[in-house]
A and B are shown apart, each in its own frame.
Chain A
Amino acid sequence: GNSVTQMEGPVTLSEEAFLTINCTYTATGYPSLFWYVQYPGEGLQLLLKATKADDKGSNKGFEATYRKETTSFHLEKGSVQVSDSAVYFCALSRMDTGRRALTFGSGTRLQVQP
Chain B
Amino acid sequence: SQTIHQWPATLVQPVGSPLSLECTVEGTSNPNLYWYRQAAGRGLQLLFYSVGIGQISSEVPQNLSASRPQDRQFILSSKKLLLSDSGFYLCAWSVAAGGSYNEQFFGPGTRLTVL
A100 close to B103 (CB less than 8 A): no
Please, how many angstroms separate the alpha-carbon atoms of A77 and B105 in the complex?
A: 23
Enumerate chain A residues within 8 angstroms of B105, measured Cβ to Cβ: 46
Q: Which of A20-28, A67-75, A78-86, A101-109 contacts B (4 or more CB under 8 A)?
A: A101-109
Q: How far is the CB of B113 from chain A (nearest CB, A)?
A: 15
A45 at the interface (CB under 8 A from B): yes
Q: How far is the CB of B42 from chain A (nearest CB, A)?
A: 6
B44 at the interface (CB under 8 A from A): yes
- How many residue pairs bridge A and B at CB < 8 Å? 63
**Residues of chain B at interface, number, CB under 8 A:** 25
A89 close to B102 (CB less than 8 A): no
| Residue in A42, A51, A101, A107 whose CB lies within 8 Å of B43 | A107
* CB 8 Å contact bits of A40-59 with B (1 = contact, 0 = none): 00111110010110000000
The 5 closest A-B pairs by CB, nearest first: A106-B43, A32-B101, A43-B106, A104-B44, A44-B106
